[in-house]
Amino acid sequence: MPNTFFITTPIYYVNDVPHIGHAYTSIACDFIARYKRMSGVETIFLTGTDEHGQKIQKAAEKNNISPLDLCNKNSKKFNDLTKILNLSNDDFIRTTEERHKVGAKTLWKKLLASGDVYLGNYEGWYSINDETFYNEKDLIKQSDGSFKTITGGPVEWIKEESYFFRLSKYADRLIEYYKNNPDFILPQSRKNEVISFVKGGLKDLSISRNTFDWGIQVPDDEKHVMYVWLDALSSYPNSLGYITDDKPELKKYWENATHIVGKDILRHHAVYWPAFLMSANLILPKRIFAHGWWTNEGNKISKSLGNVIDPVEIIKDYGLDQIRYFLLREITFGSDGDFSLTALKSRINADLSNDLGNLCQRSLTMISKHCDSIIPDGKNINEKEKELLDRITSESERFSKMVNEQNINNYVKDVWEIIGDANKYFNDNKPWELKDNNVDKFKTILYVTADIIKQIAIMIYPIMPDTSIKILGLFSINEEIITLKLINKNIENIKINEVKPLFPRYE
Ligand code: ME8
């Protein structure tokens, strides 16, 4: 297994403030980054903001401020959100930064040097909302004769001089690449959509605009700015300096890159991006994973419907780890899902308050009360108890495989299965009935339960880092870096700290 790993969120548009969809992708990436680091993999986690193009320019005009002022204002909100979500990102790139502009221009020059760029005229549909060129056959015709995109946004007919990238030339190479690298695009169902899109025929792609100026200037032609997707995609390797500089210490991360995106932007990542990189003779990312979309109480989340969920508000109301848990657990990573307050409260009450919270509270309080707060030793554990305690270690490869396949919700589900088994063990053995007449057994049960709680606390670190640290703190495990090796840390005879309820319940 490679010992380096580079994971990215999409870089988000700054025409508006962040919403729950942005928080979702970022939390999912944080989960993966934290698990990778726990397993000893040198990890770089990148997020950032996409700040050029017509969409941003228009939003700035609407707000009566300059594009850069709008970018500064909203990029800060996305940056603040990384702290609010407790993201462990190592970098935050803005496409208005010099390090990015230099890299984007270098990429342009590499495409040019490959003979893949030519000047022509673009005439066709464009969605400012998606910053995407559309074929008419991919649009939805409305009753008044106008067209809209599948995401529901309007399109306009544009006609302008434009540089083109010879995308059509790469169709066969892309198909070959998908075939030879079966896990390049996941989930498989989305990969099939991409393959049929490419097989349906690729037209050359317009890669510059010349009817506005908020963008990175095309090298040697100041009338054009680079198409915002070419600009934005290059931010990933630009954060490492990889396009401009082939240093091995940077390349080793780029060689193991994973892009996590929403299904809305899979085509840009799985078709345009690899074709640009092939043309520029640069290394391709290892994985593009496209997750699904959240609706809100059954409805599409949209500004016009006024149902956008503000992550900051929902975290204020229900707590960060509660929201992180809900988002990662509730839906299959890769499928669509619904955000409802009923489902959120039910997950908090059942999975967090009851299953995890009560397990800790009931067992550890018994240690405080009846064992002078000292965790008993485990010298008398039987075979079944040993099996329960060895379970996480014996299943470690399975957990690691789930993370490597971005099978996040099943990881969470399986950790909760272990929590369920720990609760069952505690309840079936009824330690409260043994405390006066079978002290040895009573102590063994408390030892086993405490040790499994410690192991669970490590496994939930990628999901709920604060809660994990809080539980480990009860065992005086205050390591700055949480690693999977701590699963085997001996906690016999350790003094336990005061146990307080972990999760309030919601009505
Ligand atoms: O597309 N459910 O930025 P963007 C789940 N700048 N995820 C959602 C979501 C929802 N309802 N809404 C948004 C862009 N997302 C470009 C990316 S990358 C080189 C350039 C998430 O601000 C999801 O990850 O529109 C989606 O792909 C992304 O936000 C779109 O963010």
Do 163 and 118 contact (CB within 8 A), yes or no? yes
Atom nearest to 265 CA in ligand 1:
27
Cα 323 to middle of ligand 1, angstroms: 19
Cα 107 to middle of ligand 1, angstroms: 24
Cα 232 to middle of ligand 1, angstroms: 13
Counting ligand 1 atoms within 8 A of each CB, the residue from 7, 16, 25 with the most, and so the one to mutate, is: 25
Per residue in 479-499, pLDDT tens? 889 999 999 999 999 999 999
DSSP letter, residue 351: I
Helix (H), strand (E) counts: the chain: 20, 19
Name the band, by pLDDT with cuts 50, 70 and 90, for residue 153.
confident
> Closest Cα to atom 4, ligand 1: which residue?
12
What pLDDT score does 344 carry?
A: 97
249 pLDDT more than 90: no
Least confident of 24-38, 132-146, 389-403, 409-423: 132-146
Cα 206 to middle of ligand 1, angstroms: 22
Cα 23 to middle of ligand 1, angstroms: 10
What pLDDT score does 248 carry?
A: 87
Helix (H) or strand (E) holding 333: none
Coil/strand/helix, residue 19: coil
165 pLDDT more than 70: yes
Name the band, by pLDDT with cuts 50, 70 and 90, for residue 507.
confident
The residue-averaged pLDDT of 99-123 equals 98
Structural domains in the chain? 4-292 (3.40.50.620), 341-488 (1.10.730.10)
Give yes or no for residue 331 CB within 6 A of ligand 1.
no
The residue-averaged pLDDT of 19-24 equals 97
| Long-range pairs for 300-306: beta carbons < 8 A, 24 or more residues apart | 300/152, 301/19, 301/20, 301/21, 302/152, 303/16
467 pLDDT more than 90: yes
For the residues of 138-191, what is the DSSP string, one character each? GSEE-TTS-EE-TTS-B-EEEEEEEEEE-GGGGHHHHHHHHHH-TTSEESHHHH
Cα 13 to middle of ligand 1, angstroms: 8
What pLDDT score does 501 carry?
A: 92
Give yes or no for residue 28 CB within 6 A of ligand 1.
no
Least confident of 96-110, 241-255, 451-465: 241-255
Q: Torsion angle, CA of 429/433/439/442, rounded to 10 degrees?
A: 30
Least confident of 2-16, 157-171, 293-307, 492-506: 293-307
Lookup: tokens for 256:
């193991």
The residue-averaged pLDDT of 16-26 equals 96
304 pLDDT more than 80: no
Per residue in 172-201, pLDDT tens? 999 999 999 999 999 999 999 999 999 999
What pLDDT score does 1 carry?
A: 63
> Closest Cα to atom 31, ligand 1: which residue?
12
Please, what is the average pLDDT of the chain?
Answer: 96
What pLDDT score does 301 carry?
A: 87
